[in-house]
Structure 1
Amino acid sequence: MNTQSISVNFPADILLALNETENELRQRICFALAVQLYKTQKLPLSSAINPMLISSNLYALQS
C-alpha cells in the first residue's frame, strides 16, 4: 500500500493537556479521521475498520 505523509502543527502543550504521548495522539488522529471519512461516506466501512489502513496512516503521519 502506498502512503502519503502530512504534517500537522499544534500547540506545544497539547500533549501535556491531553496527557498523551505523541504516538497516542497520532493514533487518536488516525482513528478520528477514519471515523469521519466513513460518516461522510468518503470511505467504506470495510476500509474504515481495516487495521492495516490505520497502521499505515500512523506511519504516514510520523515525521
Structure 2
Amino acid sequence: MPIIRLNPRNEQSLPQPGFNEVGVSLYPYDSSLPMVYDGITREKGRSDRIKYICPKAKKTRIKGKT
C-alpha cells in the first residue's frame, strides 16, 4: 500500500486524497480520476520512490528534455 506523506504545515489548505481499490491515490479535486504512474525515482543514498502525476497533466518534450 503506498504511503503519501503530507506536509503538516499545510494540512489545513490541502484537500485529502482518497485511494481506489488497487491503492492508487485519486485526484484530490475529482475522486473519479486516479493519479497516473510516472516512473520510479532512484537517488543515491535514498530509497526508491514511485512517482504519480496529475491525470490532467500533459508531458511535453522540448529540446530533448521532458
Tell me, yes or no, whether TM beats 0.5: no
Task: Name whichever structure is richer in helix by fraction.
Answer: 1
What's the TM-score bracket when you normalise by the shorter of the two chains? under 0.3
- Computing the radius of gyration over CA atoms, which structure comes out larger, 1 or 2? 2
Q: Please give the TM-score of this superposition, normalised by the length of structure 1.
A: 0.22
Q: Please give the TM-score of this superposition, normalised by the length of structure 2.
A: 0.22
Task: Name whichever structure is richer in strand by fraction.
Answer: 2
